């Protein structure tokens, strides 16, 4: 069983803010009451709602989350009421909430050259012998290239190529070996016109892969795992995915993960990395964020983060969700092996789409593409 990350409050907090309070770390906005189609548009026109990343949905209510030293308190109110509350609390609170709402509602520009107006599938190609689900399947170059082409034909708009397993307990590989594994695959797929992402935490691999045609750098350490990564990413011009991981080493990240409040700690961690990128001159519009499901998190942490994914829209970035075949599915279910976790994976992915996630990183591309088509038709019909 999983528990809520928040204490529920019956009303919005009053008189809580002091002039020197760091509102960015004490007051958060969670979009709730999402609606699509004509209903969502009507909410916005009437002033009773706001768009969610100018995408398929609008939200009609706001969860105001107040973090205190001992707990995080959540109170939900209709959109218009929440805006009025923020304005009446103080100028600082009003400005902070207004900034968050505008970040939540702002349009996300194309990422990797791809429009985010509809859900985007990122297909996984692990050129590794030891990845948790598909290690060894396409370890040879030609097999990996074929896998990328098959996934693209099946509906993957992005092919994510990785040469080092980051599963819990995985042993690192040398940068030279990682380059040997991934560069021929990246180059071949990019030469065929595909949008390629390089899944790496090493600056040398980032630079070489972008030179070989990769459009996206996908880093599980959010550019914190290599001292040269931020500078290389900034200079590359590639778009980026910053993932949250507690700890800096996949070998030990699951040893004893602890959070004061997992959804808020993940939000704050990603906000810190966005600030580092901004200081390096990296435009926020180039960045997608990933909550890092399964990376330094218990099943309970994962469930809490997945249940509040819409919170991440407050960072003003596209959101990428990677839950495919991960062990938390088995731990919340019946202990299934990796290749038997697709139903649970899909449940989490569709919940992510309902929260406004723009990009899904998956192994099972044809099945996910079919599910998205049905999901999209239902949203359009609504």
DSSP string, 164-203: S--STTPPP--HHHHHHHHHHHHHHHHHTT-EEEEE-S-H
Residue with tokens 């050259």: 113
Cβ contact 125:151 at 8 Å:
yes
Tell me if residue 297 is catalytic: no
Q: Per the residue annotation, which of 326, 331, 339, 373 is the catalytic one?
A: 326
Phi-psi region of 355 (alpha: psi -120 to 50; beta: other; left: phi over 0): alpha
Tell me if residue 341 is catalytic: no
* Cα distance between residue 74 and residue 108, in whole Å: 27
Contacts of 189 (CB under 8 A, 6+ apart): 145, 148, 149, 152, 159, 161, 196, 213
Residue with tokens 């808020």: 264
Contacts of 283 (CB under 8 A, 6+ apart): none
* Cα distance between residue 259 and residue 349, in whole Å: 24
Q: Per the residue annotation, which of 146, 361, 373, 379 is the catalytic one?
A: 361
* Cα distance between residue 155 and residue 124, in whole Å: 12
Across 248-286, b (16+ Cβ under 10 Å) vs e yields eebeebbeebebebbbbbbbbbbbebbeebeeeebebeb
Residues forming a β-bridge with 66: 27, 73
User: What are the catalytic residues?
Assistant: 326, 361
């Amino acid at each position: 069983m999983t528990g809520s990350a928040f204490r529920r409050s019956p009303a919005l907090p009053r008189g809580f803010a002091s002039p020197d309070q760091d509102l960015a770390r004490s007051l958060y906005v969670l979009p709730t009451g999402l609606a699509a189609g004509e209903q969502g548009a009507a909410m916005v026109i009437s002033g009773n709602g706001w768009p969610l990343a100018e995408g398929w949905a609008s939200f009609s209510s706001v969860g105001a989350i107040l973090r205190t030293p001992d707990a995080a308190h959540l109170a939900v109110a209709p959109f218009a009421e929440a805006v009025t509350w923020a304005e009446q609390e103080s100028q600082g609170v009003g400005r902070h909430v207004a900034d968050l709402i505008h970040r939540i509602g702002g349009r996300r520009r194309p990422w990797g050259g791809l429009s985010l107006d509809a859900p985007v599938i990122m297909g996984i190609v692990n050129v590794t012998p030891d990845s948790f689900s598909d290690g060894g399947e396409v370890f040879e170059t030609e097999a990996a290239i074929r896998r990328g082409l098959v996934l693209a034909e099946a509906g993957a708009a992005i092919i994510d190529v990785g040469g080092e397993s980051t599963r819990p307990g995985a042993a690192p590989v040398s940068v030279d070996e990682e380059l040997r594994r991934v560069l021929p695959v990246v180059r071949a797929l990019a030469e065929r016109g595909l949008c390629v992402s390089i899944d790496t935490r090493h600056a040398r691999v980032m630079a070489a892969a972008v030179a070989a045609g990769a459009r996206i750098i996908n880093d599980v350490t959010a550019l914190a795992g290599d001292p040269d990564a931020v500078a290389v990413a900034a200079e590359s011009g590639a778009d980026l995915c910053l993932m949250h991981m507690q700890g800096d080493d996949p070998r030990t990240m699951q040893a004893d993960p602890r959070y004061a409040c997992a959804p808020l700690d993940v939000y704050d961690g990603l906000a810190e990395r966005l600030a580092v990128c901004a200081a390096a001159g990296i435009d926020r519009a180039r960045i997608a964020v990933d909550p890092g499901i399964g990376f330094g998190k218990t099943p309970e942490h994962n469930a809490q983060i997945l249940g509040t994914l819409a919170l991440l829209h407050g960072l003003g970035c596209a959101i990428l969700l990677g839950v495919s075949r991960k062990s938390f599915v088995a731990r919340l279910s019946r202990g299934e092996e990796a290749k038997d976790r697709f139903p649970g994976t899909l449940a989490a992915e569709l919940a992510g789409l309902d929260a406004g996630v723009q990009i899904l990183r998956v192994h099972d591309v044809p099945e996910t593409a079919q599910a998205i088509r049905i999901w999209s038709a239902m949203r359009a019909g609504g």
